[in-house]
Chains A and B, each alone.
Chain A
Amino acid sequence: MIVIERISKRFGSRKVLDNVSFDVKDGEIAGFVGLNGAGKTTTIRILAGVLTPNSGDVLIDDISIVKEKEKASMHVGWVPELPLFDPNAKALDYFVFIAGYYGISKSDALSLGKRLFEEVGLAGREKDKLRNYSQGMKRRFLLAVSLISDPKNFLFDEVLNGLDPEGIQFFRDMALKFKKEGKSVLFSSHILSEVESIADKVIFIHQGKILRIMEMNEIRKIVKSNDLKIILGKVDDNVLSIAKSFGKPELNGNTLIIHDFNGELSELSSKLSPYEVLEVSRLKNSLEDVFFKIINGEL
């Protein structure tokens, strides 16, 4: 479990995090959403123990990363967005080097490395230099490294950036696997549809402040709308007048959108039958819409 307690951080005179508090429970995936420069990466770097907050504290499984960093770091795995390693090192050698910090002997680290490389889909590429890895392979390598101490908490910082669909699918599956295993995952991403598909809750951050923390059920209620989309075979001026009695219509080419639909769908279908109804569906808002509504203070 990750608990962030009122952390603030300054870079020089610029305050990048202001009293940030939230938690990620065991067996939970928390989406961490915000614009560029909102403070997502800074928050994650503090959680990883790389940065020290100016105030506040972070508890990783009830251990303060500020006061007992060495202990707390054993319980958290960090997959950064950028490849922060020596590019000239060979993958397995570097893995063994990092494993040494966890007190793992070379022989144990080698066998652990081989197992984890296989688990993350890097089997056969252990002896390659890291600079020869693709973007996706580097992320997988970072994931393997984050698994060294078999931590209960994971920090995924924009791990989906620049990945192909297979890579995205892989990381999504890994996050869901961790969740199943009762681990907590903080998942920051710009690909909001991915966050939406896996997160149990979403933390919205903007200009260093947490704007809202919403459970996915709550978000789903918001994104559910009463707007109807109808694709017609042909249209004329009369279509709008028919639709007006069912809500607020809007015609774009052959697509009729009725906002705040109020009426019976069968009745609408029969009235529009002369216009050859090809498709009828309900419109949904996306997480992106919710995000911008929150930023703009509409929610």
Chain B
Amino acid sequence: MRPFIYDFKKTFLRLTSISLLFLFILSGVGIAFETFHLMHITPARYENLNVEGYACLSGNKVSVYGIAFNNNGKPISSALVCVLSSGNVVASTRTSANGFFNLTVNYSPYLFLLVKYNSLERNVNISSIVGELQNNVNSQVVSVTIYPFSNTSCFYNVNVWWGRIQVSIMCQDNLVIFSSKNVNISMKLVHSSGIVGHKTVVLKQINLYLKKFTPVYATIEIPQGVNCIVLEQINSSPNNQQIGLNNFNYIKNTAIYCDTMNYFPTLFKLFMLFLPYTIIYLAYISFSRPRSIGEMEFILARPITKRKIFISRFFSNALIAVLSSVLIVLAPAITFNAIAGLHIPLQVIFLLVLISMSLLLTYLSITYMYSSIIKSSGTVQGLGIFTLLFLEVILPLIGISNSTYETLMQYITPASISCYIYSLINGCNVRINVGLEITSTLLWIIIPAIISYLEFKIRDV
């Protein structure tokens, strides 16, 4: 093996480098768990089982109608559905192929609906619903009165009851509609530009008799930029009660994703205050310390040149920085998926990787620059830490008290591209000169690296 490749390999595979990769994986998993902890997220918020329906009281009988579907909006068949009274099963059934179920039991004050699928379960307190219903019924004479219920996860983009129609859009484009009345509805997707009626979806499935409702499952394509969905009843019969028109805000991402993306980038930013230290340490171990103790001289007496030692070590460390950046983002993304089935889009992962990568590469370059100029490895490490604290803590604190300075900060701090990236992820409109930010980010990496190379080349080891 060529000495250059050998040095690269040895630097890359040293224990510190491998440990660092593990540290970044652990940190990533830690960030994911801490995100869920801060969100107070419980399994009920992400379990891949959703139940929607309504209960109706007729004399002493309580009928429960409903559907079970997963987080993608697909029906779940063969799920066990039980009604429990004081903890005892009084009726049970399985969901049909379209996820539909119905059960009728005698009224009792402690009725619970329990839906089980695999190891997942959801329950609904029927008695409390019917109890409320009874209170209402007592004062009015209604032949059939229904009361809706739902116990769903947060994997929805729209989840509303509108005029006895439950409309859920799960995981972006999968639509679940469950209605307790005979009606056709139209769905208009409204773009952010304000233009209404770009797309209309007409659903004809709901014209069914009350006790034989069939839920509607459909995949609809929602164009980019839609922020509102307008539901409107289409009259099929003049006798039908009109439920008018209603607008519902549409979020492109699911509720759980939005919550996660509120907390995750914040924690990620916090970790990014400390993680560059690991790269400073890596540069210290791979470059500064061997130079300080004379080991670099010893290696330089081998068939390898100074230039090649610099390049192999710098790029080996840079590769570790890139891999660490990928891992610190990928590890939480995988954890989110493993725990909750939450899918972080690849473009978001890529953008977050860019932030950590630019930050870690900047501190790698800066530490190499110090190492080339200063022979004492202790001083190099101290300077690296001071630079990190100054640029990532002290300077932003100064920026808080001075708005003009804060604006400048968007362009003068390392990895300033993060301002733009975070605004992209959060969907905010921030006035940023992206070109300037990219230039600034690249210069923070390239300039110290070039200075480092030139100094190392000129100076004696």
Contact = CB atoms under 8 A, between A and B. Distances in A.
B374 interface: no
B305 A69 contact: yes
Contacts of A234: none
Among B1, B7, B303, the one with the most A-chain Cβ atoms within 10 Å of its Cβ is B303
Contact of B304 (A51, A97, A101): A101
**Interface on chain A toward B: helix, strand, loop, or mixed SS?**
loop
Among B7, B10, B460, B461, the one with the most A-chain Cβ atoms within 10 Å of its Cβ is B460
Contact of B10 (A82, A85, A97, A103): A97
B298 interface: yes
A73 B121 CA distance: 72
A32 interface: no
Contacts of B34: none
Contact of B3 (A45, A48, A80, A101): A101
A101 B295 contact: no
Given A11-B460, A51-B460, A70-B3, A102 B297 contact: no
A45 B460 CA distance: 11
A37 interface: no
Contacts of B293: 84, 86-87
Given A101-B6, A101-B7, A103-B3, A45 B303 contact: no
Interface size bucket, A side?
20 to 34
Interface string A20-34: 000000000000000
B302 A85 contact: no
Among B2, B295, B297, B461, the one with the most A-chain Cβ atoms within 10 Å of its Cβ is B297
Interface in A155-207: none
Nearest to A69: B305
Interface in B99-134: none
B295 A84 contact: yes
A187 B6 CA distance: 31
A74 interface: yes
Contacts of A71: 303
B300 interface: yes
Given A11-B460, A70-B3, A101 B303 contact: yes
Contacts of A102: 3, 302-303
Contact of B461 (A50, A69, A80): A50
B396 to A, nearest CB: 38
B294 interface: yes
Interface in A58-111: 69-71, 73-74, 76, 78, 80, 82, 84-87, 97-98, 100-103
Given A82-B294, A100-B1, 6 more contacts: A45-B297, A84-B293, A84-B298, A98-B298, A100-B6, A100-B10
- Across the A-B interface, give the 7 residue pairs with the lowest CB-CB distance, nearest first: A101-B302, A84-B294, A84-B298, A73-B303, A70-B303, A48-B301, A50-B297
